[in-house]
Amino acid sequence: MSHSPHFSEPPKKHLGQHFLHERGIIDGIVRAVSPKPGDRLVEIGPGQGAITFPLLDAHGELTVVEFDRDLIAPLTEAAKSHGALHIIHRDVLAVDFTALAADGASLRLVGNLPYNLSSPILFHVLEHADVVRDMTFMLQKEVVDRMAAAPGSKVYGRLSVMLQAYCHVTPLFDVPPAAFRPPPKVDSAVVRLVPRAADAIGIDDAKVFADVVRDAFGQRRKTLRNALSRQCDAALIEAAKVRPDARAEQLPVADFVRLSNAIAASRAAP
């Protein structure tokens, strides 16, 4: 389906477009999503429809978010023989996913995310995590490695902690550059994110948590005592059962949660 006669648009470099064409990879993504009757599927960045049409064939209905207006008409035309396609022509960072799920149905998100925007998109989607059942995304492999990294790893950082605090992160399979047109200069990977139940997250103040994680990793070489000097003193870090002389990359997610809760509580105290 990737070489549909409806699509004459070449990939746009400034939008970070790389169109997937490798059939085996496309089938692997559809199998990973495994849509069931009643699912509300939303694809971010359908491009020329490489994943869109096989998902439509499997499910019959799909909502897509596409920013490139030149792709709207060909997607609409090509979808007619596959199923009901609902197109939201908007920047994904401006899409209110909570409103999209207003009828109480949880969303299942899918997408080959533009690599230059993957972190902002992930953080934006996290803000709507309570209406999202799961996400199956293709990203730069290096980003997926960071998302799933364990404490102590060289690539464990802000993205790892923020995502793992709110989601279970499972890398599924790697995707070589040759699977795309034009081939990117990097390997890609498909990852599944499943939001945790609200009561399993345990974060008392989401903003304090985000600030603590950002500052802790802001200067990786610094100890927490120094990196978090704007947030709290060493005594409070110790009271939260965290070592002030530790560095951010040594701390498990649970320690960041405990520490940020202690900071939030100290600010709320009279």
Binding-site annotation: residue ranges for S-adenosyl-L-methionine: 18, 20, 45, 66, 91, 112
State the CB neighbour count (10 A cutoff) for residue 60. Answer: 13
Q: In this structure, what are the phi and psi dihedrals at residue 245, rounded to the nearest 5 degrees? A: -90, 5
- Which residues 6+ apart lie within 8 Å of 66 measured at CB? 45, 46, 47, 72, 75, 87, 88, 89
Tokens of 184: 């990117």
Sheet with 61-66, edge to edge strand ranges: 84-89, 61-66, 40-44, 107-112, 132-140, 188-195, 167-175
- Residue pair 190/32 in contact (Cβ under 8 Å)? The answer is yes
> What type of residue is 74?
P
Q: List the Cα angle 98/104/105 in 5-degree steps.
A: 90
Classify residue 154 by burial, with Cβ atoms within 10 Å: 0-12, 13-18, 19+: exposed
> 29 exposed, middle or buried (CB, 10 Å; 0-12, 13-18, 19+)?
buried
Q: Which residues are annotated as a binding site?
A: 18, 20, 45, 66, 91, 112
142: left (phi over 0), alpha (psi -120 to 50) or beta: alpha
Tell me if 72 sits within 8 A of 52, measured CB to CB.
no
User: Do residues 129 and 91 lie in contact, with contact meaning Cβ atoms separated by under 8 Å?
Assistant: no
